[in-house]
Chain A
Amino acid sequence: MLIYILRRVLYSIPLLLIATFGVFLMVSETFDASAYLAQNRSPETRAAFIEKNNLDEPVVNRYGDWLVDAVQGNFGETYRSSEPVMDEVRPAFWNTIQIVGWGILISAFVAVSIGVYSAVRQYSISDYLLTGLAFVGIALPPFWFGLIAYHFATELAGWVNGGEPVLYGLGLHSAGKDGLNLDYARHLVLPVMTLTVQIIASWSRFQRSSMLDVLSSDYIRTARAKGVSRPKVILKHGLRNGLIPLVTIIALDVGALFGGLVVTEVVFSIPGMGRLFVDALNNGEANIVLAWLLIAAFGIILFNLLADIAYSILDPRIRLS
């Protein structure tokens, strides 16, 4: 198992090199980080900025410098404020993890529940209803849904709470507050909903379909014939096998999560990785974009690995070679 993991990681390294170089090239060539100083009355300011950040050196040199530093764990400094990149990335990452973490947990739980329920009650009215909702959910553009949800939350506040907000759409905590409390929860509802509505919809469809497969298989019938109670059969035997395809899907969908993440953070002003990326791109901060890319790629690789491992645990017939 360990060898497998090691092999996968090593194999990803050349890919990462190519990807980072390509992105560095693109960002450096298409964004001028010093442009914001162009309207400054003193042209020396812009020249000094370029000099300080080595922006006039050839791209290949700059990439080389970055690579040498990165391997030692130093991801460089931002151009504008000369802050270590990791100082910018760490808090953003933590904020994003909160949304993503809650998102995946809630999505998985809800999707599995809906999927199992739908499969067990196939062709019932609730099944049709849920499937219909799932189709609707998949078709909803997340950013539009987020805006509409925020709109309704605002209107709701007007009717229900006399103007005081019910759900918040600005950041993760109210002004000056902190910690895991009701205020936090009220801030989380809208962004997490926006992020997960599409995911829950598609995962639940998937889960339903795989549960149906499992429930009609022979060994389930055998178990029932042997007298094992229905709930036990479903939960103990059915679910275990039914989860396998979902696990693979979760891993593959992590990449898709990034898209929804960026939009959610922009709409709800959450200072996370998504917004960091958009701001960095617009300001030409190549170092932040590269750090971002590495983290994203790392996350995807990690999730794929976890999926494979989980797969092998859930299905003892699979052996990782």
Chain B
Amino acid sequence: MNFSVPDPLSLLPYQSGLVVTPLEEGAAKGESQLDSPQRAITIGEPVPIVFCRRVNDQGGVFVSPGATEGRYTNNATTNELTVNLHLVLSEGDMEQLQLRDVYQRACRVGTWLQTYDRRAGTWAPGNYITEVAGTNFWNCPYYCGTQGTYDNMTTLSYQNNHADGDETWNKQVHCFVRSGINVTRILDNTLGPSNNVIDLALYLIRQSSRFPESMLDLTAMADAAEFCDVNGLYYNGEFKESTNLEDWLDSISSNFLLRVTDKNGKKGFRPRLPVNANGTIKTTAITPVFTFTEDHVLPNGYQIEYISLDQRRPILALVLWRQQPTNDIGIIRAAEVKMAGTATNGPYEQYDLSQFCATEDHAIKVGAYYVAKRYYITHSLRLNVAPSSYNSTLIVGDIVRVRLRRETNVGTVSYHDYLYEVERINRAITGTVTLDLIHFPIDSEGRSLVGLAVDAAVGPGYELPTGRLDFNCDIEGRDEDTTPLTDSGETPGGTPTEADLEYEVPIGEESPPDNTINNPTDPFNEEIPGNITGLSDPPLEGETANVVPPCASGRVTWYRVSRDIAASATEAQATSVSQREFIKEEALGGGWEAGSSLVLTSSDIDYWIVAEASCPDPGSPDGFGDRFPVGVTNLVEPDTTLYTYARWNGTINNAGSVTSYTSAWINYSNYLTICGLSSCGFAAAYITAEYGAGGTLLLAGPAIGPVPWRASVTATTPREGNFGGSFRLGGLAQNANLPACSNDAPSFSITINGIKTYSVSGTWEFSNNQSTVLRSWKGAYGSSDPILP
């Protein structure tokens, strides 16, 4: 059974990104510590992605690359230290940095090289420091790194000299990146740097190799990219913290006024605000595409959820962003955004955009959205509606109107009458449609209140001084030197190869197991060992059968089963109690090992004898548990040695013509028998079958015999058609078959003409005085029927 439970409506504001509350607040993550020790890269940490594009003097990102190799040498006389560092700037390729954009600490110093997909510089790593008398010993790292392939990475080589005793030799180097890694931009389909978050999302989704291209909604992505571009929402950041892709997509989208959507199974982004065809925020009247009324809503199909107080209370949004001057290190700014006249003294809610937001308007618009949606959007709605014309037209993002009549006072009619944005559509197999809707507040002119608030939100444009008074520590002229870094490097030999580091698990081919099933038997389902002893085979009247139950003080029950009900001993044992004749039941005492005995009588002739046992069970009403079989005999026969005379008494069925016949008494010496089928042609002989052209069976008879004490024989012609011939069935004989085709009674001749059955069927009767019948027996079992192929 399958249960399908829709997500609670209360989750909708969270799933749709309407409610975005930062879980933690702290120092701006976009801040760089300028004077810290140089960071070394550790195996396993993510390769950073520098993603930015400075346009119109806005954007770019300040990064502090880690070092992978170092070389330390000093002058044997002056002790001047020369430091070489090899740094990884980013995954991917990017434009050459400019000399004005590379720093050690806050100073533009050093000699720099930049390359891609190989090692920058040609120096060999190592510590070659020697002690110079009368100077300070340079305590440089001893493990200076080995070389790698630097596959698909932008790398840097930095070199600088430090006079004896200079304590800045090991400080962090920094770069201001104006153009990050090259990607194919979705908006102009051009390879180059990008500041569009959609390009970054697509890059990450594709690079993560976890999402097929067919499941990307590239149309929605392009629309979202245009929305970001038109409204100045740019990504200028270094992506370096390991995270979950879906988490990141969800969190980053709200900071670009987008929401992640799952349209037809395809992942995409959609603006949180109504937009025009050109991507600008729509500030004109909104026309709903459909109006839902009582005619559409199914019974119990209306569910409303108001957004809780904690998500409605006005806040002062503290939006952190990064002011980035053209020729200087950027600074973190905090923009304070609130609805007019509210939250003058808080509460504050901090949104840290400093890792990627480098424009004030972006920060202000995001802040305006957060405070405005808190102020205006009050509830969400779930409607279950019957299928109708909107089935094929309504799509996610459409604006609809819900107008439902409400009468709670006599003579007064009110309406639930609001606009909503379709957030989710669930079309069930039953045909019903479930719509998850988010309140879409409008003003008196039908314009989106949230859209108006965000569209109008722009920053004051105040440029905050950086606080730096001079650039004395720079090499002179560097602050305006736009010379690109020299592209120089090497593909070092002797680095480990993939064969040195990788191991591929060989793929085996799965096969089904062989056909042998050899399970151990379950003793609880096996037959309990036991049997009937004391009898000959076949058992004879007058013999004594004995059964010992498998438990002390057990009980034995005896039954007989007619040969007319069961065709074999196994079938007899499987019969139900109602098919059996009860003989006797004997509960045994402590001397149970002797078992229960049964003397076979004339009543048992032509019967299978079945014995069942049961063990003591005080919980059972009769004190014994279930009966289980412990033995079954073959058919009981009379002891023919006890009688002098026998005769046959029965009927002759010649294809439906039935006559009775009783033979004379015969003083037999060994046995009597009824003969089988014989062919009366040129060479008369007993046969079991007659075949026609092509091996077609025309006539089938019983075993040739002689079968001692066989009392019945049957033959059949299984095909339509007159095939003629001369055959004979039956005949009473003693100690051997009659000569073939003898006409001794009870017998008759047969020709093959249509589908028919012939039989001689009767019993043996025994007597010692030719008048009193002492026993009657149906004869030997299993040899009467025709042998069919």
The answer to whether A binds B is no
